[in-house]
Amino acid sequence: MSASAILQSLTEMSHYLGVESRGYAIIGEGNTSARIDADHLYVKASGTSLATMKPSDFLAVNISKVTRLLDSRDATDDDVRETLKSSLVDEQETRMPSVETMLHALLYDYPEYNFIGHTHPVYTNSVLCSVNAEEAISGRLCPDHIVVMGRATVFVPYVDPGLVLAREVRDRVRVFVEKENQPPKAIALENHGFFALGPNARAVTNITDMAEKMSHILVGTYSMGGPQFMSAADIDRIDSRPDEKYRQERIA
Ligand SMILES: [Zn+2]
């Protein structure tokens, strides 16, 4: 994919996620990114809105320059700002990349990801801002839930946004990959929102749509006595069935 095709796809994905009637993001909420190459990404500029993004509203950022700060234990808020600024490919750029750029950047360590969408969907956050957040997000409700979102979702308890959150996400994704032998398709942040991760823009919108629909259903199940999650054996079966694998590939 050429840089301009990536930007076009990223812009369209952002518009889809930013449509107000979907309830995924309003005003300046959410952020999106796409991989340019092994060490560069495009990310939404801070202060822009998903619904009205133009290709020029995305900034090219050097991935290893941003993620370097993750291992610096006593980094301050000023260090974060400085690092974000110095990671911009265009040295003349005066705008700042999204505050969550570090989080996006560290996820591109996994070659499976080319597009990432972060939103604050209404039903997903109804679940994630509830006392049952971790339990509710841990299960699978029906076969399509598994086909689109995989066997499990990474849950991240609330921590300070920015550097601390980025480190927490990095650790939890590593644990997930060790256990599941594959990178996650989704990350749920308690009291915050949702990350969809995919090889292309379509996968990101599909995962976000499915997460929001399943969260809507979850809210309903809690009014009916609680969710009846699928068993581990049934999840394994759907995840390994050849016809469901075919469906997974077609959808992505
Ligand atoms: Zn957010």
Q: Which domains does the chain carry?
A: 3-251 (3.40.225.10)
- Residue 243 pLDDT grade (very low, low, confident, very high; cuts 50, 70, 90): confident
Asked if residues 50 and 17 have their Cβ atoms less than 8 Å apart, the reply is yes
How big is the CA angle at 172 (ends 86 and 125), to the nearest 5 degrees?
A: 90
C-alpha of residue 28 to centroid of ligand 1, in Å: 10
pLDDT at 248 over 80: no
- What letter would DSSP give residue 199? S
Distance 249 CA to ligand 1 centre (A): 29
Q: How far apart are the two ends of the chain, measured CA to CA in Å?
A: 16
Which residues, chain by chain, have CB under 5 Å from ion ligand 1? 193
pLDDT value of residue 48: 96
- Inter-helix orientation angle 201-222/3-18, to 10°: 20
The band of 245, judged by pLDDT with boundaries at 50, 70 and 90, is confident
Return d(Cα 230, Cα 93) in angstroms, integer. Answer: 50
Tell me, in angstroms, the distance from the centre of ligand 1 to residue 6's CA.
23
The pTM assigned to this predicted structure is 0.96
